[in-house]
Chains A and B, each alone.
Chain A
Amino acid sequence: MIRLSIPLRQALSRLSLPVLIALAFGTMLLGKADALLAERARMALTDAFAPIWAALQQPVATVREAVQEGESLLKLRAENARLREENERLRRWQAAALALEAENAVFQRQLHFVPEAAPAFQTVRVVADGGGIYARAVLLGIGPNHGVRKGQIALDERGLVGRVTEVGLRSARVLLATDMNSRIPVVLEGSRARAMMVGTNGARPRLQHWPEGSAPEEGERVVTSAEAGAFPAGLPVGIVRRSEGGAPEVELFARLDRLDVVRLFDYGLGGILPPEAVARPEPRPRR
């Protein structure tokens, strides 16, 4: 340790806070000027912690399951009645779906329809919350030899979750559809009208920019649109609901507040990626 005289040491300790505050401003400028450096630092840090979070995931999931179990035990009766009713309804829908499937097969045969290849996907675990107060994102724990790349689309078992925005060695970050920066081109299934689904950091993203005369209606299904080459058409997103103020919002199918596992689909789409990725497009890995 370096020996310093007491007045000098006192002066240094008094100076350290202002100097560090100035350094904080410098960090801000650096983070603003070199976004790539900040991104690399972030992914290096999350890579380092991904194994720890993955290990913690097990006990956390166990506790959460126990709590859910307790809750479901409390309302078993009501739940049972609801499920019976839902089952009845789904049975009717199943009959309709089977009939439509058969009809669709006949039509496709008649039209010599070339079916699209089923997209490849991998299932990965959500290990950490990758957002702050002004961002909604999750971190995924992935193996070292993963095929995950930017722009892949994350779905849970019900619907759209978001897009992969950053990829490290052992972790990747998915920006959720509810994030303020998320803009997803969608189609309203009833009217086939296009619109933008804009995240607000709340639970329900808002709908904007629909064409005149085809305002979104309550209960209408919302699916993704292939506009701008960022998403494939027809992924299930949610249902239109009116907010208290009357603005149309989307109630997502995906349960973003309890994401455990997501499926990452590779559609090989490169539309609208973050700037540095556009300058140097990543090749789609060969399968």
Chain B
Amino acid sequence: MRGRPAPAMGLLRQIDAVARAAFPTGLTALLMVLAAVPVGLPGLVPAVALPCIVFWSVFRPAALPPLAVFGLGLFGDLLSFAPVGSGVLTLLVVTGLVTRWRRFLVRQSFLAVWLAYCGVALGAAALEWLLQVVLGWRVVPVAPGLYQAMMSAGLYPGVAWVMSRIHEAMSRAESAP
């Protein structure tokens, strides 16, 4: 006995699904563009990208495929005039690690996830520093990297609060019949 095939998706539904799938990437890119407006804080673009990427890879990994992370990393490198590819590699490594730990992270409290995020931000800053040294072939000071990691850790709660509201709304829309 065979069941009936699922009804074909209507156009509106398809648009809705596509918009929902593209939303995390689009929002991250938009935040990066906005972060480039000069407000007196240098290095805001990469500091904004990291919390978005970590949040979506923990709570909605399907919405942020590695290809999108690659694109966002390249976008950030080009926007912030960093050596091309360094941000791409950092973001991809972070995504890989976080998706591996996500089963554990999803069950933790907000504070624990934030602490884990601080560790990830420090690791990302270290990797970026290393790439900067290797690609530029000269030693650069560590302080700006630490500063960026701290800024990014400080941005995480705000970004995560807004995004978890959006994530809940999206889940509700998906579970609705």
Contacts and interface: CB of A to CB of B under 8 A. Distances in A.
A135 interface: yes
Contacts of A60: 37-39
Contact of A24 (B43, B92, B132): B92
Interface stretch (B72-80, B154-162, B167-175): B72-80
Contacts of A200: 141
Contacts of B34: 56
B141 A201 contact: yes
A128 B83 CA distance: 19
A21 B85 contact: no
Interface in A123-177: 126-139, 173
B140 A134 contact: yes
Given A137-B81, A201-B144, A129 B44 contact: yes
Given A24-B73, A257-B40, A30 B84 contact: yes
Nearest to A181: B136
B25 interface: no
B58 to A, nearest CB: 16
B129 to A, nearest CB: 8
A45 interface: yes
A128 B70 CA distance: 23
Most chain A beta carbons < 10 A, residue from B65, B81, B144: B81
B54 to A, nearest CB: 15
Interface residues on B, range: 35 or more
A180 interface: yes
A41 B89 contact: no
Interface residues on A, range: 35 or more
A239 B163 CA distance: 47
Contacts of A228: none
A20 B92 contact: yes
Nearest to A53: B37
A72 interface: no
A84 interface: no
B82 A25 contact: no
A259 interface: yes
B88 A132 contact: no
A258 interface: yes
Interface of A: 13, 16-17, 20-21, 23-32, 38, 41-42, 45-46, 49, 52-53, 56-57, 60, 64, 126-139, 173, 180, 200-201, 257-259
